[in-house]
Structure 1
């Protein structure tokens, strides 16, 4: 138990939503790069964007559904799904921008 004279840390509103955004942002980039770096898949970049989105979105939905159905102390939250999706979309837009810049620099 912490001592009684220790002040409680300040609460940051909606910190969990920031965590959802950051996790899915990083997850999507890593997932995307895993497939993009495979030389056989380079021609299928558009499909990699779609696959990355579908996997990240599905994972977010599944986790929230599982939280709601199999745990007693947690509940699913549609705003968590929204911020998961937002992190994924921002990551994919960033990857599209970076890939476009890299292709211009290669030519």
Structure 2
């Protein structure tokens, strides 16, 4: 989380990356989506692990979903208020939110009633 926060708030305008003419439309939105999908997926598992299974997977996913959405909004607000060359975008917040919901769908699909998540402590 610290690395993503730093990458989101620091300027990289001096760094020039040669992409070799590769142009991926909406690459930044795809990155936001994937990050928040992974954030919710791993975060939910981490909450379950830290609480030794006392918090159910449903409650863990909802907690992490809310945290991921709030985190995404805070990063965009910080980009708008404290950075000079970074821009806050509603599209980023939307990509973050959709990615967070995708993380919930992924974890619930992988650990459905047919394949329950078993915790041994």
Task: State the TM-score, normalizing by the size of structure 1.
Answer: 0.81
SS in 2 for 1:67: helix
Instruction: Pick the structure with greater CA Rg.
Output: 1
Distance 2:53 2:30 in 1: 35
1:1-107 → structure 2 map (5 Å cutoff) = 8-37=20-49, 38-42=51-55, 44-100=56-112, 101-103=114-116
Distance 1:7 1:31 in 2: 32
Structure 2 unaligned regions, length at least 5: 1-17
Structure 1 unaligned regions, length at least 5: 1-5
> What's the C-alpha RMSD, in Å, of the aligned pairs?
2.2
How many pairs are equivalent?
Answer: 99
Deviations 1:11-65 (A, max 9, x none): 21111011111111111111111012232424x3322121011110000000000
